[in-house]
Amino acid sequence: MNQTTTKHKLYRRIIFPFLEFVKAESFSGILLMFITLSALVWANSPWSDSYEKIWSTPFTIALGDYGLTKAAILWINDGLMAIFFFVVGLEIKRETMVGELSSVKGAAFPVVAALGGMLVPAGIFILLNNNGEGLSGWGIPMATDIAFALGILTLLGNRAPLSLKLFLVAYAIVDDIGAVLVIALFYTSEVNFLSLWIGFLLFGLLLVGNSLKMRNIWIYTLVGVLMWVAFLKSGVHATVAGILLAITIPGRSKTSELEFQESTEEILDDLRSYRLAEQTNTEQEPTDEDYQGAVYAIENNCAEALSPMHRLEHALHPWVAYAIMPVFALANAGIYFYADLVNGLYTALSLGIILGLVLGKPIGILLFAWLASVTGLAAKPKSFSWLQLLGVGLLGGVGFTMSIFIANLAFVNSPMLPLSKLAILCASVIAGIIAYIILHFSSPKPAAEGDMEE
């Protein structure tokens, strides 16, 4: 295979899906900024009572005598966010199969950096809140909001090289893996083991279906919904079901690239022969049925060439980026400002979150990345500088969606919840502004991709 073909294949398999992902996440980040401001204005307006009333309104979904009744905000945080985590799981799976995390060499640098970006912020928070009431919020400053971070990075245009965006996405996905593990292991209420085992039984059935090459998306969806209900009843947070379902979705195509190309070319050759016959006025004239049949055949080829994982990610990602995350932000970011709340920014809880995100994230990412580089464990791409790496590390301090989600779990029905949300918003704004300034003034010329430091 020649070099041109190899580069073309790399673009189709890795770069093109990544660019589509960045495009959606970038606009989603800008949309989230607008929605967050709208939620804050609404919560502090003369109509603030309606804000609380809407999200506390109970909704029931029932089938016969069986049903679930929850407040609207819980349907969002437990239900819609399960879809969000399902798409996150699909993205993680894709990255481990064909993306930046698919090889040890490519994954080492962002993985080590991400570990630093989780451990150092958590350490700062624990140090400030040791034996305090807010200690359960130690997971809050570990998270990164990839949509907000990419939205800020996109504002820089070509000042940010593609490799820098790849690094941001890679370490943010590792952050997501860490957040899921933290939620599953440390933010679980009393466990109903019967429901938990039912959930894992359904997960096992889907794994068996995957091994038997079952590709019917509707079967995965139905069993996935049942698994979500089982985890919801078990006490383990229901969003974990989204990640587990993503693991079971087949990630390989039904046909090979060569088979797809040959079959499609054969159909196109038939259409060309029909067109040629029409131009030469022979008796073999094409009909509309011939054309429609060819189109349906190509459509079927495309369906078989795309794996269920890619089809679901492509179909659901816009819904998550443009609907689920904005709805989550609207329901959770509306904080009512009052004197005691603002004064609470000087407490250990708020300082732990703010310092963890604004200082802990960039320090942890930069320190662990530097240690990996000097020890030879991993190499930093030459296409971005250490100063730019610091800027991207600060973007990791934009925790928002994931941090608020963990705060909801850590401080259920607690007066610490609005204070933690305010601290998250303040930290995200501070980290985002400083990151933008650093990245704007550091090496504005885009560099070549793919070169590695020795």
Residue-wise pLDDT for 122-180, tens only, equals 999 999 999 888 899 999 999 888 778 877 877 776 677 777 888 888 888 888 888 88
**Given this model, what pLDDT does residue 198 score?**
93
**Separation between Cα atoms, residue 440 and residue 436, nearest integer Å:** 6
DSSP strands (E only) in 129-173: none
pLDDT mean over 10-38: 66
DSSP state of 380: -
In the predicted structure, residue 182 carries a pLDDT above the cut 80: yes
Longest dimension (CA), the chain: 89
* Sign of the torsion angle spanned by Cα atoms 417, 422, 427, 433: positive
Residues of the chain above pLDDT 70, percent: 84
Helix boundaries (H) for 280-399: 288-305, 308-319, 325-332, 339-343, 348-355, 361-374, 386-395
Contacts of 135 (CB under 8 A, 6+ apart): 126, 129
Is residue 401 a contact partner of residue 328, using CB atoms and an 8 Å limit?
Answer: yes
Please identify which residue in the block is written with the tokens 């349907």.
75
**Given this model, what pLDDT does residue 371 score?**
93
**Separation between Cα atoms, residue 452 and residue 12, nearest integer Å:** 22
* Number of residues written out for the chain: 454
Is residue 174 a contact partner of residue 111, using CB atoms and an 8 Å limit?
Answer: yes
Domain ranges of the chain: 3-187+237-252+307-441, 257-302
**Given this model, what pLDDT does residue 17 score?**
58
In the predicted structure, residue 11 carries a pLDDT above the cut 60: no
**Separation between Cα atoms, residue 328 and residue 407, nearest integer Å:** 13
Please give the structure tokens belonging to residue 398. Answer: 């934009």
Q: How confident is the model at residue 52 (pLDDT cuts 50, 70, 90)?
A: confident
Please give the structure tokens belonging to residue 223. Answer: 């069993």
Lowest-confidence segment of 21-30, 51-60, 382-391, 400-409 by average pLDDT: 21-30
**Given this model, what pLDDT does residue 284 score?**
55
How do 66-71 and 58-63 pair as beta strands?
A: antiparallel
Please give the structure tokens belonging to residue 107. Answer: 């994954």
Please give the structure tokens belonging to residue 329. Answer: 């932000």
DSSP state of 35: H
**Separation between Cα atoms, residue 203 and residue 262, nearest integer Å:** 37
**Given this model, what pLDDT does residue 443 score?**
60
For residues 11 and 177, the model is more confident at 177
Contacts of 271 (CB under 8 A, 6+ apart): 286, 290, 291, 294
Q: Could you report how far apart the first and last alpha carbons of the chain are, in Å? A: 27
**Given this model, what pLDDT does residue 283 score?**
55
In the predicted structure, residue 447 carries a pLDDT above the cut 60: no
**Chain Cα centroid distance, residue 68:** 27
For residues 46 and 447, the model is more confident at 46
Strand partners, 58: 71
DSSP state of 444: -
pLDDT mean over 21-41: 76
**Given this model, what pLDDT does residue 364 score?**
95
DSSP assignments along 261-304, one per residue: HHHHHHHHHHHHHHHHHHHTT-S----HHHHHHHHHHHHHHHHH
Homologous superfamily (CATH) of 3-187+237-252+307-441 is Na+/H+ antiporter like domain (1.20.1530.10)
pLDDT mean over 231-235: 84
**Separation between Cα atoms, residue 243 and residue 245, nearest integer Å:** 5
Q: How confident is the model at residue 20 (pLDDT cuts 50, 70, 90)?
A: low
pLDDT mean over 335-346: 82
* Sign of the torsion angle spanned by Cα atoms 179, 182, 184, 189: negative
pLDDT mean over 299-305: 72
In the predicted structure, residue 454 carries a pLDDT above the cut 70: no
**Separation between Cα atoms, residue 185 and residue 123, nearest integer Å:** 18
Is residue 122 a contact partner of residue 139, using CB atoms and an 8 Å limit?
Answer: yes
**Given this model, what pLDDT does residue 277 score?**
60
Name the CA radius of gyration of the chain, rounded.
24
**Given this model, what pLDDT does residue 448 score?**
45
Closest residue by Cα to residue 399 from 332, 338, 343, 337: 332
pLDDT mean across residues, the chain: 81
In the predicted structure, residue 291 carries a pLDDT above the cut 80: no
**Given this model, what pLDDT does residue 88 score?**
83
Highest mean pLDDT among 174-188, 252-266, 268-282: 174-188
**Separation between Cα atoms, residue 358 and residue 121, nearest integer Å:** 9
Contacts of 193 (CB under 8 A, 6+ apart): 234
**Given this model, what pLDDT does residue 274 score?**
63
For residues 15 and 79, the model is more confident at 79
* Dihedral over alpha carbons 296, 298, 301, 307 (to 10 degrees): -90
Highest mean pLDDT among 316-325, 347-356, 405-414: 347-356
Please identify which residue in the block is written with the tokens 């580069």.
7
In the predicted structure, residue 203 carries a pLDDT above the cut 60: yes
**Separation between Cα atoms, residue 349 and residue 140, nearest integer Å:** 10
Helix boundaries (H) for 99-142: 104-129
**Given this model, what pLDDT does residue 234 score?**
85
Residues of the chain above pLDDT 90, percent: 28
Q: How confident is the model at residue 25 (pLDDT cuts 50, 70, 90)?
A: low
Q: How confident is the model at residue 205 (pLDDT cuts 50, 70, 90)?
A: very high
For residues 237 and 44, the model is more confident at 44
